[in-house]
Amino acid sequence: MKSMAKVVGVVASLHRDGLSKKLVSSALDGVSAANCEATLIHLSDYSIPQWSDENVGKPEELSKAFKGMGGLVFCAPVYYLDVNGMAKDFMDTVELPEVSGMPAMGIAVAGGTGKGLTSALKTIYYWFFCKSMRGIDPLPVSRFNFEAAIGEARASGQKLAELAKSGPKPFRNLAEQIAYHQALPFMGYEFVDEIALLVRQLLDAPHRKEAGTEARAKKLFEKGNSLIEEGRKQEAVGPIVEAYEMLYY
């Protein structure tokens, strides 16, 4: 009898019951709903060293936890516009089994201002690229879209599990791999695109701004977004940032 596909969910946060844990748990709920094995790993349970020639594959017990993995969910909090140090040490040091063509989903969680939610997400997907994994459904999360993101994580977890059942699909060549990566959402984002995304999240989220303030912010956002779509991103910075500051502060 064929064994169930195994999907591993990694929480790269020191907060065991924080936002990262909730998002990964939701994704793994989707995995279980698709009748696949779901395994949760907290990186905080391990002492992960910085990379060196002597530290490759350490800690061994963590590297072994990925044996038999057919899919991966990886979630990291955002610090200074990038993934936290523990996530980066994991990427640099821990050894994974053969993962070429394996489906993987990344989640970046930015608290506070929300800034860094796509720049950190790109780091995760660059790592997927370097490992030749097939990244799916990049999920940028702030506290403004967290509730919606919980549902998105579950749906993506179920999708990931279905892909894991079919087995890995290695890329035929580098050109195919690059084209696949570049076609993923958010991979081409610049700073102004990220702030515009946060404005959209703020407009969609419940907040206590007066109707007039929200209307002005929405008008500024529409102006800035039109400039972005026209490729005039430098000109878009002013109205997009003004809209963000009106809604956030």
Burial of 55 (0-12, 13-18, 19+ CB in 10 A): middle
Q: How far apart are CA 127 and CA 82, in angstroms?
A: 13
pLDDT for res 1: 40
pLDDT for res 41: 97
> Helix, strand or coil for residue 232?
coil
Residue 171 · residue 105 · CB < 8 Å: no
Residue ranges of the chain with per-residue pLDDT less than 70 = 1-3
Q: How far apart are CA 60 and CA 48, in angstroms?
A: 10
pLDDT for res 164: 97
What is this structure's pTM? 0.95
Phi, psi of 160 (to 5 degrees): -60, -40
pLDDT for res 2: 54
Q: SS3 sequence, 103-149? A: EEEEEEEECCCCCCCCHHHHHHHHHHHHCCCEEEEEEEEECCCHHHH
| CATH 3.40.50.360, domain 6-182, yes or no | yes
Residue 224 · residue 240 · CB < 8 Å: yes
Q: Which pLDDT tens digit goes with each residue over 198-210? A: 999 999 988 778 8
Task: Classify residue 44 by its DSSP letter.
Answer: G
Cβ partners under 8 Å of residue 158, min gap 6: 30, 31, 33, 34
Name the nearest CA neighbour of 83 among 129, 133, 122: 122
pLDDT for res 169: 97
